[in-house]
Amino acid sequence: MNSPSLPARQPVDNSGGKALFLATVNAMPLDIPAFNNAFGRAYDRVHRSAQPADLAAEQDKLRALVPADASEEDRTWTGHLINDLAEPPPPPREWSELYHEAVRIHVAVYPPKGTTEEQLAMLADGRRRIWELADRASPDEEWDIRAMTEDLESMENWIRNPAFPLTETPFPSSDA
């Protein structure tokens, strides 16, 4: 178990503005990205590892990452998160038949087949049918069902307007 370490950051900013303001307010600001990753690693050790973990020790290690003179706001949210560490992940959800039907539609239209126009039509049809199911779903499932269409919409947008040309093979330019 290696304890997370704080990378040296907090570059000096003499340009004024927000950074200087924050530096003045917090003599020793919280390193937010480091805390975020440390929390995630602690969460994995406590809740997702086969090895037993020492919850209190993990919480202490996280508290040690919050400087004593950190802002009130930073002490509040990190405190909540450190307390959250004790909460186990929610149990797997039981999905309704509507949800499973939406999954089946997603499977049927992804990947889309045929010409570009046919692919676009297939994706759009899949989105429409999944949203219709979401309209009928309970509030508990509605938003998770709708979220299934993000992939479909993203692919549709790309087919319409690719941000760069796709190649068939990973390294065509190295073809000698």
Please pick, from the candidates 8, 12, 50, 68, the single residue that binds other proteins as defined by CB under 8 A: 50
* Site membership for other proteins, residue 23 (CB under 8 A): no
Select the residue interacting with other proteins from 3, 28, 37, 69 (CB under 8 A).
37
Angle (CA) 89-74-24 rounded to 5° is 160
- For residues 57 and 81, which CB has a smaller minimum distance to other proteins in the complex? 81
d(CA 110, CA 112): 5
Compute the distance between CA of residue 23 and CA of residue 10 in angstroms, rounded to an integer: 9
Quick one: which of 81, 96, 101, 132 contacts other proteins (CB under 8 A)? 81
Q: State which of positions 109-138 bind other proteins (CB under 8 A).
A: 110-113, 124, 127-128
Whether 31 contacts 9, CB under 8 Å: yes
8 binds other proteins per the rule CB under 8 A: no
Contact 35, 59 (CB under 8 A): no
Q: Contact between 5 and other proteins (CB under 8 A)?
A: no
Residue with tokens 């020492």: 54
Number of chain residues interacting with other proteins (CB under 8 A): 71
Please name which of 2, 73, 6, 67 lies closest in space to residue 36, comparing C-alpha atoms. 6
Nearer to other proteins, 97 or 168 (CB): 168
